[in-house]
Structure 1
Amino acid sequence: MADSDSGTEGVDDDAPEKSREELRREVDDKYDFENFGPEDMAEMSLEEWEVAFDPDSWITGTELLDRVEADLKHRIAIREVFAVVERITRDGEPQLAAYSDEGYAIVYPDGSVEGRGTVLRDVKPTVALASMDEYEVPEMPEGGQLPQPDEVTEGSGELGNKLMQTIGAIHVLGGIGMIIAWLLIVLGVVGVADAVRDGAPLLALVGGAFFVFGLFVLLIVANARLSDRFRSEEYRNRLRSAGVESGMRPDFLPVDEKDQDD
């Protein structure tokens, strides 16, 4: 009986570990950790989180800050994240600060994060991934990741706009030409055969369709240019509010100027 009980206990001890491994495989199949984001974090259950991010294997300290900085700057460079990233030292402890015009996040060497707004939402999954040894952090890009406000150009799709504008103008002019031709035929200014005169209403109809279509295309181009100009100006204002141009941090950031690393 004693041997039987001992064997049963051994099976029971192995069962939770086996279940944990099965759950780990399910999590690996369910989530794409190369593109892990806030939505995935919200979807994860507590059990899934625990098996996906094993505390015993987490990367911490300065290495974690280096990895988070590289990953964030890469995402900023490809316009996935809007933020200014700085290395700071507070109370003798190295930290990483990321902030925008709407929020901020401060990453500590132990992997904890404080902050608010969209920046905090973007930084949390980055810290979780960077703390995993299996995650390959992209190389840190050179130079500033956010452009200066005066470097933001308008009309990124100007070639397409010009092409559409040309098409619209051709249709408008063609439509006007056909309508004028119809009027000349109807008024008898131009002498034509009876068969052509009978088909004159069709000429007016086609001309009107050309004119309306061309006008519609020109309105689309005008709206696209106006929207592009508005987005560019809005982006410039966000850059200025984040201190990209002035070098001044937002007032809501709980960091003093003396806390910035050289």
Structure 2
Amino acid sequence: MSDSPAREEDTPPDAADEADDVQALRRQVEEKYDFEDFGPSDMAQMSAEEWEAAFDPETWVVGEDLLDRVENDLKNRIDTREVFAVLERYEEGGEERLVAYSDEGYAIVGPDGSVEGQGTVLRDVKPTVALCSMDSYAVPDAPDDVSLPTPDDVPEGTGQLGNNLLQVVAVAQLLAGLGLIGVWLFTDAVPTPGGYVNLVPPVVGLVFAGIGLFLFAVVANARLSDRFRAEEFRDRLRATGVDDGDRPDFLPPLEGSETASTGSTAADETGDPD
């Protein structure tokens, strides 16, 4: 009597339930997010469970390709002022790494996709690394020269044309108001019906003059605000080290980077002789 064919073992109930849960969560994620226009803001909203359900770990990009993709994506975001940071490449333990830092934190990206750091830069870089590790994510081409401006290159403010137009309107309003008041005071051009004093022209003149003064105050406030923001931005650039090349104190030592080598050489040259 021949042996009966071995029956295929059924899938364990727990594994089947887990697979069904993953499929259900994947459908929910596909309905919730638009993956054709998926960006860092969407990535920041995703939970770890949603991320694991939506993307296949076997297709993730790692190694130097990942660092190149992250660097290009961050360069674009720095160029559009979405991210305020300085980018550098360096080697640690024979592996190349990418670091982004500012006056408010830093993020170090490893070739395996690991990210460590602190502050707002870490918050900005984490979604970028997650996106760039997806092979389906198209990283835009980075501009040729992307860098933060030096403090001396920061203008005092923008919108000077708007300020000039407001000043022209303010002058017109002020002259119109003073003109009406002058005509009412020094001429008989304003009729006085019934022998009563006509107070309409001086009231209208005061309104025009008040509008003119208010517009001048708006322009002055805008200029002061622009100067304050420009100086605040310069202070951030100086704290980041854009002006003198000194990195923030909270940033760990970066071995093998050009800036670190330059700093070490300068220290040796200025050191005390034995």
TM range (shorter): 0.7 to 0.9
Aligned mates of 1:44, 1:181 — CA distance in 2: 69
- Equivalent positions of 1:63-212 (< 5 A) are 63-185=65-187, 190=188, 193-195=191-193, 200-212=198-210
Q: 1:37 aligns with which of 35, 40, 52?
A: 40
Report how far residue 44 of structure 1 moved. Answer: 2.9
Report how far residue 196 of structure 1 moved. Answer: 10
Aligned mates of 2:38, 2:209 — CA distance in 1: 48
Aligned to 1:213: 211
The sequence identity of aligned pairs, in percent, is: 53
Residue 55 in structure 1 maps to residue 51 in structure 2? no
Report how far residue 74 of structure 1 moved. Answer: 0.4
Unpaired stretches in structure 2, ≥5 consecutive residues: 1-6, 262-274
Q: 2:238 aligns with which of 233, 237, 240?
A: 240
Report how far residue 240 of structure 1 moved. Answer: 1.3
For the residue of structure 2 that corresponds to 1:177, the secondary structure is helix
TM-score normalized by structure 1?
Answer: 0.86
| Structure with the largest fraction of helix | 1
Contact map agreement 1:65 1:109 (CA 8 A) in 2: yes
Aligned to 2:227: 229
For the residue of structure 1 that corresponds to 2:96, the secondary structure is strand
Cα root mean square deviation, aligned: 2.8
Report how far residue 59 of structure 1 moved. Answer: 0.6
Contact map agreement 1:84 1:146 (CA 8 A) in 2: yes
Q: 1:168 to 1:11 in 2, by over 3 A?
A: same
Aligned mates of 2:160, 2:210 — CA distance in 1: 23
Aligned mates of 2:190, 2:128 — CA distance in 1: 76
Unpaired stretches in structure 1, ≥5 consecutive residues: none
Larger CA deviation: 214-223 vs 198-207:
198-207
TM-score normalized by structure 2?
Answer: 0.83
Which amino acid counterpart does residue 39 of structure 2 have in structure 1? F
Aligned mates of 2:212, 2:173 — CA distance in 1: 5
Number of aligned residues? 254
